[in-house]
C-alpha cells in the first residue's frame, strides 16, 4: 500500500503500465471473476463449494488490486527530465555510471521510484542506500554508500537519462 502523504515517483512508461493493468482489471478480470462466481453458484450449496470460495477470494484480490492501483495513480508523480550537461544532478529517473573505487569496476543503473525498482535489471530504488547516497549529487563527485554488506566508495562518472 502507498502511504497517502508520499508521492509515487514513476517514469512515464511505469505510469502507462499501471494504467494498463488497472484497465485490464476493470474491463476483463472483473467480468471473468463474475462469470466464475455465477458458474460456481450453479453447483448448489455454497457452504461446501470450493469453486465458489476460490472465485470469491479471487474477486477480493482483484478488487483490492484495483483500489491499490487507483491510490497509486492518484499519488503518482512522473519523473521529469533534469538539467542537461555538466550541471545535471542525480534525481529519480537518472541513469548513473559509477566507478567503484575499491575494485576499479564501473557499474551503471537507473534510479527509479520504489515501485519500479528491479536490481537485476539495473533499476535501483531512490529509497535504497545507493539511491539515497546519490540523490542530489553532481558529475565527478565522490560518495560513500553504507549498506548491510559494508561501506563502499564510488565516483560519479556520468549522469544521463
* Residues with Cβ within 8 Å of residue 34, at least 6 apart in sequence: 59
Using the 3D structure, point to which of 78, 101, 129 is the last residue of a domain: 78
Encode the chain (161 residues) as per-residue pLDDT tens digits: 444 457 777 878 888 989 999 999 999 999 999 999 998 888 777 777 788 889 999 999 999 999 999 998 998 888 765 545 555 788 888 899 999 999 999 999 999 888 889 999 999 998 899 998 998 899 899 999 988 888 999 999 999 87
Question: What pTM, to 2 d.p., does this model score?
Answer: 0.63
Based on the fold, state whether residues 52 and 92 are members of the same structural domain: no
How far apart are alpha carbons 70 and 44 in whole angstroms?
35
Residue 112: give the domain boundaries.
Answer: 85-160
- Residue whose entry in the numeric block shows the C-alpha cell 536490481: 119
Q: Are residues 38 and 104 in the same domain?
A: no
State residue 145 phi and psi, 5-degree precision: -115, 120
**Whether residue 156 sits in one domain with residue 112:** yes
First to last CA, the chain: 28
DSSP secondary structure of 19-46: HHHHHHIIIIIHHHHHHHHHHHHTTS-G
90 and 125: one domain?
Answer: yes
Amino acid at each position: 500500500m502507498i502511504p497517502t502523504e508520499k508521492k509515487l515517483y514513476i517514469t512515464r512508461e511505469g505510469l502507462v503500465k499501471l494504467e494498463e493493468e488497472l484497465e485490464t482489471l476493470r474491463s476483463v478480470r472483473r467480468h471473468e471473476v463474475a462469470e466464475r462466481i455465477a458458474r460456481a453458484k450453479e453447483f448448489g450449496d455454497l457452504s461446501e463449494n470450493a469453486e465458489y470460495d476460490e472465485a470469491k477470494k479471487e474477486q477480493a484480490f482483484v478488487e483490492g488490486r484495483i483500489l491499490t492501483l487507483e491510490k497509486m495513480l492518484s499519488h503518482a508523480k512522473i519523473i521529469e527530465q533534469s538539467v542537461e550537461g555538466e550541471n545535471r544532478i542525480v534525481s529519480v529517473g537518472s541513469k548513473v555510471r559509477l566507478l567503484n573505487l575499491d575494485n576499479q569496476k564501473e557499474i551503471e543503473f537507473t534510479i527509479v521510484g520504489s515501485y519500479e525498482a528491479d536490481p537485476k535489471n539495473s533499476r535501483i530504488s531512490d529509497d535504497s542506500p545507493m539511491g539515497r547516497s546519490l540523490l542530489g549529487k553532481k558529475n565527478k563527485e565522490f560518495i560513500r554508500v553504507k549498506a548491510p554488506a559494508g561501506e563502499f566508495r564510488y565516483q560519479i562518472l556520468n549522469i544521463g537519462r
